[in-house]
Amino acid sequence: MNSQLYINEIQPLFDDVQRARIFKDQKTMTDVIPLFPVSEINKKYEAEKQGEGFDLRSFVLSNFDFIGEKAVKKEDILPIEEHIEKLWDELTHTAFENEGTLLKLPKSYIVPGGRFNEFFYWDSYFVMLGLQVSGRVEMMKNIVENCSYLIHEFGFVPNASRTHFLSRSQPPYFSLMLDLLVESTNDEKIYSKYHSTLEKEYLFWMDGEEGLENDSATKRVIKTREGDILNRYYDSENTPRPESYLIDIEDQNNISGKEFFRNIRSACESGWDFSSRWFEDGATIQTIETLNLAEVDLNCLLWHLEKTLVKSSELMGMNDKAEYYTQRAEKRKQCIDLYFWDENTGIYRDYHIKKHKKTSSEHIATLYPLFLGLANEKQAKAVSETIAEKFLYQGGLVTTTKETGQQWDLPNAWAPYQWLGFLGMKNYGYTQLADTIKNNWSINVERVYNNTGKLMEKYNALDTKTIAGGGEYPNQDGFGWTNGVYLKLKRN
């Protein structure tokens, strides 16, 4: 049976399974494939569950198929780059039909690895960095095609290619993916080919902007007291995440806020699930307030999308559109300086839309204006000093300066930000710092690989003798973006 499954179609059964902790990982039940029509399974469940000797686990196993995680094949430890070349093939998946919660995609794609056996949006950009080094241009084209298909099908690229992610996206990297593809093919026409895709994604992020009053927000758009437009991460659902169902329900205990689940989900749209960055008290998830923040990374990425739309419009001779997007990009650049740059501490911060001031969290998204060339020389110098002083450790760049047990906090170093740090410093001539960032993290990756034969999702930057932890699930082996960034850094 190849049919699409939405979790709410099996909600009573799903709720019972997750609360009973039948599976170690709450994601297991979200990835199931029904063996019979869902209406039949529901009817059978209602009829049987009250019966004597009913076994919930047996019921689930006899009515659903489980794909689960594919273990990476272990051989004698190969040289790391050879291992990554083999991994590209192992991490290649296809989904030409909707199956269970998995969305169909027109082309094959690379999954992150471990428990993550679907296509992820922002991961795929960092995967593409490595595919470029490996000369796998066809797979780079596949990723772009899959994103384009999703944008035309749903209006945006979902967080990942499953039905329960259709309420949110992830950091909008599609325009940056096009840059990589143009770089790899020398074909500028790629921008015009995907012009309508770029526009459609832009409309998704700007939806609700028309008629928005000052000092208010709707969906992903904020209008400040001063009448400026900024963007925020957002999720259209306010329910527990199916993939972390029980965790969310337990975290919500003793919370008075009506939108706890939406705040949780909106943080997931950023990719940073979770971090002290989102917490009002800087420590506990119960104080999460993602919806109150305009984020520096998102606004920088949308500036890049606007600039790419200028390029695609010009290539197609659409001068009015080019002018429109030029004005939008220029205005956003001014807003990035005005709302996110903190002169006093030499860092870019998020902006709190209710308190009308910058947040106190120091985090690595301060790199985005340098990565994309938005910072001036003075700002870049200040950020480079802050990075060297507060974020750089012997195992790479950490994401925040706080240790909370959340995986996007100290002491973890994640692949994307090593690349952003390296390139951001290079862009402004801080070559020595760029090389230190590259070497500290790459040596850490090599050490863990030589000890374990694994490439991990994240690394411990402080204690390079241990494997990174924190978060809602164990550190995963695979791992798409680590492979991509490692290869790219080694070539630079």
Reported pTM: 0.97
Output the pLDDT for position 256.
60
Decide if 477 is inside a domain. yes
pLDDT in tens, 201-228: 999 999 999 999 999 999 999 999 999 9
457 is catalytic: yes
Contact in structure between 308 and 191 (CB atoms under 8 Å)? yes
Please indicate, yes or no, if residue 253 is contained in any of the structural domains. Answer: yes
Q: Which amino acid is at 123?
A: D
For the chain, how many structural domains are there in total? 3
CA-CA distances (angstroms) from residue 22 to 19, 168, 243, 316? 8, 27, 14, 55
Residue 249 lies in a domain: yes
Round to whole Å and give the CA distance between 459 and 407: 10
Does residue 450 fall inside a structural domain?
yes
Q: Which of 302, 335, 325 is closest to 226 using CA atoms?
A: 335
Q: Could you tell me if 22 and 57 are in contact, meaning their C-beta atoms sit under 8 angstroms apart? A: yes
C-beta atoms surrounding 281 within 10 Å: 11
DSSP 237-253: --S--GGGHHHHHHHHT
Tell me if 253 sits within 8 A of 268, measured CB to CB.
Answer: no
Distance (Å, rounded) from C-alpha 400 to C-alpha 64? 41
- Tally Cβ neighbours within 10 Å of residue 282: 17
Q: Are 207 and 270 in contact (CB under 8 A)?
A: no
d(CA 460, CA 120): 23
224 close to 245: Cβ distance less than 8 angstroms: no
Does 58 fall in a domain? yes
Domain coverage including residue 276: 245-291
Residue that finishes a domain, picked among 291, 314, 329: 291
Look at the chain and count its residues.
Answer: 492
State the residue for tokens 């839309």: 353
Rg from Cα positions in the chain: 22
Among candidate residues 33, 66, 99, the one where a domain is terminated: 66
- Evaluate whether residue 232 is within a structural domain: no
Q: Report pLDDT for 245.
A: 84
Residue 273 appears among annotated catalytic residues: yes
Give me the pLDDT at residue 74, please: 65
Q: Is residue 299 part of a domain?
A: no
Residue 71 lies in a domain: no
Ranges in the chain, pLDDT < 70: 1-2, 68-75, 254, 256-257
Output the CA torsion sign for 244, 201, 121, 332.
Answer: negative
Are 20 and 56 in contact, with CB atoms under 8 Å apart? yes
Q: Which amino acid is at 9?
A: E
Q: Are residues 387 and 282 in the same domain?
A: no
The active-site residue out of 248, 251, 269, 273 is: 273
The answer to whether 63 and 34 have CB atoms below 8 angstroms apart is yes
Q: How many helices (H) and strands (E) does the chain have?
A: 19, 16
Catalytic hit among 99, 306, 362, 457: 457
Question: What are φ and ψ of residue 228, in 5° steps?
Answer: -85, 150
Q: For 407-434, how does the pLDDT look when each residue is reduced to its tens digit (9 = 90+)?
A: 999 999 999 999 999 999 999 999 999 9
Which of 291, 317, 351 lies at the terminal end of a domain, its last residue?
291
- pLDDT of the residue at 69: 62
Residue with tokens 């991990």: 456
Omega into 79 within 30° of 0, i.e. cis? Answer: no
> Would you call 217 helix, strand, or coil by DSSP?
strand
